[in-house]
């Protein structure tokens, strides 16, 4: 599954056929993609999704070094859309998201310095 929206829905435990939350999820995904753009990941002009048609490879090259983008987007969307009840779990998820954000920033920065 290469669709950004559908893979985030699957990670959240939402059936791909259920469209009840698509508008909200698209808004949150676009917020997270905007954050990634601001740290140098993806197209410098930005990237947004409008439905299930946009794929991860439309946002960034399909290379192993970018594989953590999916986890980052899911984690950030989960924290916004359906945050866990336990404070410890929220803190752990925030820690993972922060680490992934840093690592993605380093990858993007290295790419820009090698151009």
**pTM (predicted TM-score):** 0.94
Structure tokens given for 34: 């905007």
Looking at residue 112, its pLDDT comes to: 83
- pLDDT at residue 108 greater than cutoff 90: yes
**Helix count (H) and strand count (E) of the chain?**
5, 0
DSSP annotation of 35 reads H
DSSP annotation of 65 reads G
- pLDDT at residue 12 greater than cutoff 90: yes
Looking at residue 111, its pLDDT comes to: 86
With bands split at pLDDT 50, 70 and 90, how would you rate the model's confidence at 1?
A: low
- pLDDT at residue 103 greater than cutoff 80: yes
Q: First vs last Cα of the chain: how many Å apart? A: 31
Run of H or E residues at 22: helix 22-38
In the block, tokens 């959240």 appear at: 12
Contact 22, 16 (CB under 8 A): no
37-90 confidence digits (pLDDT tens): 999 999 889 999 999 999 999 999 999 999 999 999 999 999 999 999 999 999
């Amino acid at each position: 599954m290469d669709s950004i929206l559908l893979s985030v829905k699957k990670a959240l435990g939402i059936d791909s056929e259920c469209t009840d939350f698509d508008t909200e999820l698209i808004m949150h995904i676009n917020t997270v993609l905007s954050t990634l753009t601001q740290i140098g990941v993806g197209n410098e002009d930005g990237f947004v999704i409008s439905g299930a048609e946009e794929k991860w490879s439309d946002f960034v090259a399909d290379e192993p070094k970018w594989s953590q983008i999916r986890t980052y987007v899911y984690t950030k969307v989960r924290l916004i859309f359906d945050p866990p009840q336990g404070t410890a779990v929220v803190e752990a998820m925030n820690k993972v998201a922060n680490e992934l954000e840093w690592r993605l920033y380093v990858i993007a920065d290295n790419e820009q310095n090698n151009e």
